[in-house]
Amino acid sequence: MKLQGIFPALATCFDHQGGLYKAKVLHNVEKLNQVGLAGYTVCGSTGETPLLSVEERIQSMEWVKQAAAEGKILIAGVGAESVFETVKVANRAADIGFHYALALTPFYYKTQMHRPETQALYFRAVADQSKIPVLLYNIPQVTGYALPVETVAELSHHPNIAGMKDSSGDNNRMKQVLAAVKPGFQVFSGSGAGFGEALQLGAAGAILAIANPLPYACVTVWEAFRTREFEAANDWQARILPAAKLIAGKLGIPGLKYAMDLNGYYGGPPRLPFVPPTAEEKAEIEKVFDGLRS
């Protein structure tokens, strides 16, 4: 299975009591199966993973596996602060049938964790014990720490570390990473606002929150890039840009879920203490998504 293309970073479906909503998980994935997506990422940042128990994470993975069409690549968000817990979740995901484990940089104990040698040890230890290949997950706007390019280059030589998701949105840094890693190490953009440029720099694809409400538009950028129609790719990236900036920069997961509701997917309520968007925010979302309805 070739690791490339567009992957939605799936939102987690909750009912109005705050519980996981199986029917809506199945609905979303079955509808997304009809789009030319490479696969699905479950329990990443967009999935409100810090607000889920481990058992809820595993349950979500089981339901997505059940609904995913044959041939879809499945990526499990497995990150935890300890190597022990990360490996435990990764290997449960492997048993369910997931193909890759996406591991977030540990960050809680900043003085100790925000060190290149600590990060390198964490990822090597996870990769040594994981049944499935590991993807590094760099999202400094959440963790307060950016994996150094040199650390990524070093880790790219581990036989069970297959690639990286970089959600920093810094394509200058993306260019440095791509030049430093070993051949075959697949780097993915996590930026809905900048993934088109990342593809042209050499990224293997993108893992995107904005692909939940706008899967067709995101795949259109990918297909235009793949067929070397760069003007069309840039045009579609520009169309997505206002929506991606509004969600990523201002309204976050609650806004994303409302956009999903607008476009025929189930977003539903975010889990408390997230606050649903106000009437004014909903109007703002409706405006930037106008003309981008699926």
165 belongs to the catalytic site? yes
Q: Is residue 39 part of a domain?
A: yes
Residue 221 within any structural domain of the chain: yes
In a domain, 274, yes or no: no
Q: Is residue 132 one of the residues assigned to a domain?
A: yes
Task: Please report the pLDDT score of residue 4 as a whole number.
Answer: 98
In a domain, 73, yes or no: yes
Domain that holds residue 172: 5-236
Residue 243 lies in a domain: no
Closest to 132 measured CA to CA, from 153, 161, 106: 161
**Is residue 107 one of the residues assigned to a domain?**
yes
Number of domains making up the chain: 1
Q: Is 190 exposed, middle or buried (0-12, 13-18, 19+ CB in 10 A)?
A: buried
Amino acid 294: pLDDT: 56
- From 24, 165, 175, 182, the catalytic residue: 165
CATH of residue 204? 3.20.20.70
* pLDDT score for 2: 87
How far lies 247's CA from each of 41, 138, 207, in Å?
Answer: 18, 19, 15
Cα separations (Å) of 62 from 55, 58, 211, 222? 11, 6, 21, 28
pLDDT for 242: 97
Task: Please report, in tens digits, the pLDDT of each residue of the chain (294 residues total).
Answer: 789 999 999 999 999 999 999 999 999 999 999 999 999 999 999 999 999 999 999 999 999 999 999 999 999 999 999 999 999 999 999 999 999 999 999 999 999 999 999 999 999 999 999 999 999 999 999 999 999 999 999 999 999 999 999 999 999 999 999 999 999 999 999 999 999 999 999 999 999 999 999 999 999 999 999 999 999 999 999 999 999 999 999 999 999 999 999 999 999 999 999 999 999 999 999 999 998 865
Give a yes or no: residue 241 inside a domain. Answer: no
